[in-house]
Amino acid sequence: MENKLPILDKKFVGNLIPQKFPFVMVDKLLSFSENEVTAGLTVSEENIFFNDEKFQESGLIEHMAQSVALFTGYQFYLKNEPAPTGYIGSIKSIEILQLPKNNEEIETTVNVLQEFMGVTLVDIVTKLNDKEIARGQMKTVLAN
């Protein structure tokens, strides 16, 4: 596949992260640069984190973390290397202002603040219709 963005092929995007169905919380790679990625997800009532007519907080946090994984996965794809598995090392802060509903499309932008020896510190902002609905900061750690 070309390195042309955005990438809207769910299967291709899913192959860039270590998580597999039904635990995939990103389905679009909208933009990518050296220190930033924007990922998307169309919320579905089929999603394991969908309950009570909404995408739950835990799903939103997982979507944010998988957006970080997508950044790393796409970096490795561009180098023609397999993506490593990573973990949430810590969550410094998460603020959730609104929960998306069925068929709504969320976009999450990850801004890499620091990357050192497999540890990545990021700021994350999630939007729905250009309105911020969540933000946070977390560290992710690559497995050896």
In CATH, what number is assigned to the domain containing residue 60? 3.10.129.10
In a domain, 74, yes or no: yes
* 1 belongs to a structural domain: no
Report the predicted TM-score, pTM, of the whole model to 2 decimal places. 0.94
Taking 80 as the threshold, does the pLDDT of residue 84 lie above it?
yes
Residue 47 placed within a domain: yes
pLDDT tens per residue across span 27-79? 999 999 999 999 999 999 999 999 999 999 999 999 999 999 999 999 999 99
Say if 5 falls within a structural domain.
no
User: How much is the pLDDT for 38?
Assistant: 98
Q: Is residue 69 part of a domain?
A: yes
Report the pLDDT value the prediction gives residue 22, as an integer from 0 to 100. Answer: 86
- pLDDT tens digits, 107-122: 999 999 999 998 999 9
Domain contains 4: no
- Overall number of domains in the chain: 1
Name, in order, each residue with C-beta under 8 angstroms of 112's C-beta and a sequence gap of 6 or more.
Answer: 35, 36, 71, 120, 121, 122
- Tokens standing for residue 57: 């907080």
Q: Is 76 helix (H, G, I), strand (E, B) or coil?
A: helix
Question: In which domain, by residue range, is 101 found?
Answer: 10-142
- 97: Cβ contacts below 8 Å, ≥ 6 apart: 132, 133, 134
